[in-house]
């Protein structure tokens, strides 16, 4: 019998409840195979439980569901020279880097990770290695190679597709390879010299055709969109997930060009937005001098967000207005971009609490049940609830008191297997 089939009991002083809104005290989580089979007070455990179950006392810790990262680039370094590395390393190096990055993410508490753009040769090879249990990794949901225009955002690891026919072919190719989500670059981006963040990369007709094709094939589509023009196209077409949603004006001197009517339509169409605020928070704290290069020849003011001290306040106002109008947020860090390391996922929750003013429990939810719902996997993960995967992480200090305590879990359990216990990696649970 493989070790995962042994029934286990995880005792913890504090266990998050079935909605991840509060603590159950001195409870035990019973795990059978890889699933949670019961949650009960420790006093109600049968006296001879250790005869039938492996009993693990996690101690005076705060146990929550494993974190879900919705936006990563597994072969990007997350260092300040990440662009140079991503454009110079060969596939062998990228593959090794991806394997290391994913294990870093896992031991930092991320048990599910959606990759929104990595070379097919890397992403699908890595998935095979995970399934063969060669490397330790969060469960991955892959887009593989993203779709962009020639010389467009992330062209150096994307499929360049300019016409409608080319985009449809690129989508079909990803499905054939096993992609579970399609990533399309609807505007230029800061990571790519001479792409233009302030303009759409595609026509509305092409974005619409891409959405229709993904619907036909039963696969969600996520779009990178900084420019207001590109956001409007994506909302009109019904793209499921809009990443960044920066509302950048075509004339960058004007800063943002926020449109409330488009926001209302987002809410009506149940479009989720990943505002990606965690990476901005990390750059401000860890690299205050960080500036995105002024890469775009048409870009007169460089990066709006880094040069304008009022930007943070305006961004917060816009995001809160979007939230008030009913837009749901996905919590994604854009892991792999500059100053977004693979153990930095909790920064999204910090941003949710500190910049948007949400409660610490809402911060915890932003990376657990909320992301599970946004990705449509809330019947598998996202809460500590009977029937869900036993993906559990624990902290010595209470993250519902201070969201910064959501960092560096002392224990990580994935599918009922202990991978880290009291800060030590466990190799043979
Ligand atoms: Zn990204």
CA 153–ligand 1 middle distance (angstroms): 10
Same domain, 43 and 152: no
CA 87–ligand 1 middle distance (angstroms): 15
Band the pLDDT of 252: cuts 50, 70, 90: low
CA 342–ligand 1 middle distance (angstroms): 13
Per-residue pLDDT, 55 = 96
Q: Which residues contact 116 (CB under 8 A, 6 or more apart)?
A: 70, 71, 72, 73, 143, 146, 181, 183, 222, 224, 243, 332
CA 115–ligand 1 middle distance (angstroms): 9
Same domain, 73 and 61: no
CA 156–ligand 1 middle distance (angstroms): 13
CA 379–ligand 1 middle distance (angstroms): 26
CA of residue 147 relative to chain centroid, distance: 19
Per-residue pLDDT, 320 = 97
CA 185–ligand 1 middle distance (angstroms): 9
| Per-residue pLDDT tens digits for 217-241 | 999 999 999 999 999 999 999 999 9
CA 428–ligand 1 middle distance (angstroms): 34
Terminal Cα-to-Cα distance of the chain (whole angstroms): 13
The residue from 331, 351, 374 where one domain ends is: 374
Report, as an integer, the average pLDDT of 270-286: 94
Q: Tokens at residue 125, please?
A: 């090879």
* Ranges 83-97, 292-306, 367-381: which has the least confidence: 292-306
Per-residue pLDDT, 241 = 98
Tell me the pairing of strands 147-148 and 139-142: unpaired
CA 191–ligand 1 middle distance (angstroms): 9
The residue from 374, 393, 415 where one domain ends is: 374
Considering only CA atoms, which of 112, 111, 178, 193 is closest in space to residue 145?
178
CATH of the domain at 281: 3.20.20.140
CA 69–ligand 1 middle distance (angstroms): 12
CA 59–ligand 1 middle distance (angstroms): 38
CA 28–ligand 1 middle distance (angstroms): 38
CA 418–ligand 1 middle distance (angstroms): 30
Same domain, 255 and 388: no
Query: Domain residues for 60?
Result: 3-65+382-425
* Ranges 4-18, 27-41, 148-162: which has the least confidence: 4-18
Same domain, 387 and 265: no
Q: Which residue has the tokens 């991806």?
A: 98
Same domain, 79 and 177: yes
CA 73–ligand 1 middle distance (angstroms): 6
Tell me the residue ranges of DSSP E strands in 308-361: 328-329
CA 336–ligand 1 middle distance (angstroms): 8
CA 345–ligand 1 middle distance (angstroms): 13
pLDDT at residue 260 greater than cutoff 90: yes
CA 116–ligand 1 middle distance (angstroms): 6
Greater confidence (128 vs 4) lies with 128
CA 79–ligand 1 middle distance (angstroms): 14
Report, as an integer, the average pLDDT of 192-217: 94
Percent of the chain exceeding pLDDT 90 equals 83
pLDDT at residue 309 greater than cutoff 70: no
Q: Tokens at residue 114, please?
A: 């959606």
Q: Which residues contact 311 (CB under 8 A, 6 or more apart)?
A: 255, 304, 305
How many domains does the chain fold into?
2
CA 71–ligand 1 middle distance (angstroms): 6
CA 330–ligand 1 middle distance (angstroms): 13
CA 120–ligand 1 middle distance (angstroms): 15
CA of residue 50 relative to chain centroid, distance: 38
Band the pLDDT of 307: cuts 50, 70, 90: low
CA 285–ligand 1 middle distance (angstroms): 20
Same domain, 158 and 29: no
CA 385–ligand 1 middle distance (angstroms): 31
Same domain, 55 and 174: no
Per-residue pLDDT, 236 = 98
CA 130–ligand 1 middle distance (angstroms): 22
Tell me the residue ranges of DSSP E strands in 230-362: 241-248, 272-274, 328-329
Same domain, 49 and 16: yes
Same domain, 52 and 197: no
Same domain, 353 and 389: no
| Per-residue pLDDT tens digits for 313-358 | 889 999 999 999 999 999 999 999 989 999 999 999 999 999 999 9
Q: What is the spatial distance between Cα 243 and Cα 114, in angstroms, rounded to a whole number?
A: 13
pLDDT at residue 295 greater than cutoff 90: no
CA 315–ligand 1 middle distance (angstroms): 19
Q: How wide is the angle at C-alpha 84 spanned by C-alphas 223 and 335, nearest 5°?
A: 40
pLDDT at residue 112 greater than cutoff 80: yes
pLDDT at residue 285 greater than cutoff 80: yes
Q: What is the spatial distance between Cα 243 and Cα 198, in angstroms, rounded to a whole number?
A: 15
Q: Which residues of 71-82 are buried (b: 16+ CB within 10 A; e: fewer)?
A: bbbbbbbbeeeb
CA 243–ligand 1 middle distance (angstroms): 8
Q: What is the spatial distance between Cα 113 and Cα 240, in angstroms, rounded to a whole number?
A: 18
pLDDT at residue 298 greater than cutoff 60: no
CA 182–ligand 1 middle distance (angstroms): 13
Same domain, 166 and 218: yes
Yes or no: say if 29 and 45 are a contact pair by the CB < 8 Å rule: no
Q: What is the spatial distance between Cα 91 and Cα 246, in angstroms, rounded to a whole number?
A: 32
Same domain, 348 and 362: yes
Per-residue pLDDT, 189 = 87
CATH of the domain at 398: 2.30.40.10
CA 197–ligand 1 middle distance (angstroms): 13
CA 49–ligand 1 middle distance (angstroms): 47
- In whole angstroms, how far apart are CA 129 and each of 140, 141, 164, 174, 416? 11, 14, 34, 19, 20
CA 337–ligand 1 middle distance (angstroms): 7
* Ranges 73-87, 294-308, 384-398, 411-425: which has the least confidence: 294-308
CA 65–ligand 1 middle distance (angstroms): 24
| Per-residue pLDDT tens digits for 130-143 | 999 999 999 999 99
């Amino acid at each position: 019998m493989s070790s995962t089939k042994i029934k286990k009991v995880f005792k913890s002083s504090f266990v998050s409840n079935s909605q991840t809104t509060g603590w159950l005290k001195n409870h035990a989580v019973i795990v059978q195979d890889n699933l949670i089979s019961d949650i009960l007070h420790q006093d109600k455990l049968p006296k001879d439980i250790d005869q039938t179950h492996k009993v693990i006392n996690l101690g005076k810790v705060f146990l929550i569901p494993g974190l879900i990262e919705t936006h990563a680039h597994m072969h990007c370094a997350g260092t300040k020279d990440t662009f140079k590395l991503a454009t110079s390393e060969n596939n062998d190096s990228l593959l090794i880097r991806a394997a290391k990055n994913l294990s870093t993410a896992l031991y930092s508490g991320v048990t599910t990770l959606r990759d929104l753009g990595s070379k097919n040769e890397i992403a699908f090879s890595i998935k095979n290695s995970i399934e063969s249990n060669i490397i330790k990794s969060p469960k991955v949901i892959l887009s593989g190679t993203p779709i962009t225009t020639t010389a467009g955002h992330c062209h150096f690891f994307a499929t360049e597709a300019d016409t409608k026919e080319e985009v449809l072919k690129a989508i079909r190719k990803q499905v054939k390879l096993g992609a579970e989500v399609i990533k399309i670059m609807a505007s230029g981006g800061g990571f790519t010299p001479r792409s233009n963040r302030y303009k759409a990369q595609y026509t509305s007709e092409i974005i619409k055709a891409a959405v229709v094709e993904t619907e036909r094939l039963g696969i969600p589509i996520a779009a990178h969109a900084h420019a207001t023009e590109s956001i409007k196209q994506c909302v009109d077409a019904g793209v499921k997930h809009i990443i960044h949603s920066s509302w950048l004006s075509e004339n960058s001197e004007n800063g943002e060009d926020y449109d409330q009517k488009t926001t209302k339509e987002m809410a009506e169409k149940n479009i989720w937005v990943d505002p990606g605020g965690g990476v901005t928070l990390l750059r401000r704290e860890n690299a205050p001098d960080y500036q995105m290069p002024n890469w775009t020849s048409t870009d007169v003011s460089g990066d709006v967000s880094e040069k304008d001290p009022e930007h943070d306040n305006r961004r917060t106002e816009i995001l809160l207005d979007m939230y008030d109008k009913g837009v749901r947020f996905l919590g994604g860090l854009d892991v792999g971009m500059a100053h977004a390391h693979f153990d930095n996922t909790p920064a999204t929750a910090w941003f949710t609490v500190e910049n948007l003013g949400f409660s610490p429990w809402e911060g915890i939810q932003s990376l657990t049940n909320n992301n599970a719902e946004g990705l449509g996997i809330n019947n598998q993960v996202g809460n500590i609830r009977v029937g869900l995967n036993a993906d559990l992480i624990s902290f010595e200090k209470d993250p519902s008191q201070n969201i910064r305590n959501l960092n560096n879990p002392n224990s990580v359990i994935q599918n009922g297997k202990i991978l880290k216990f009291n800060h030590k990696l466990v190799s043979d649970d």
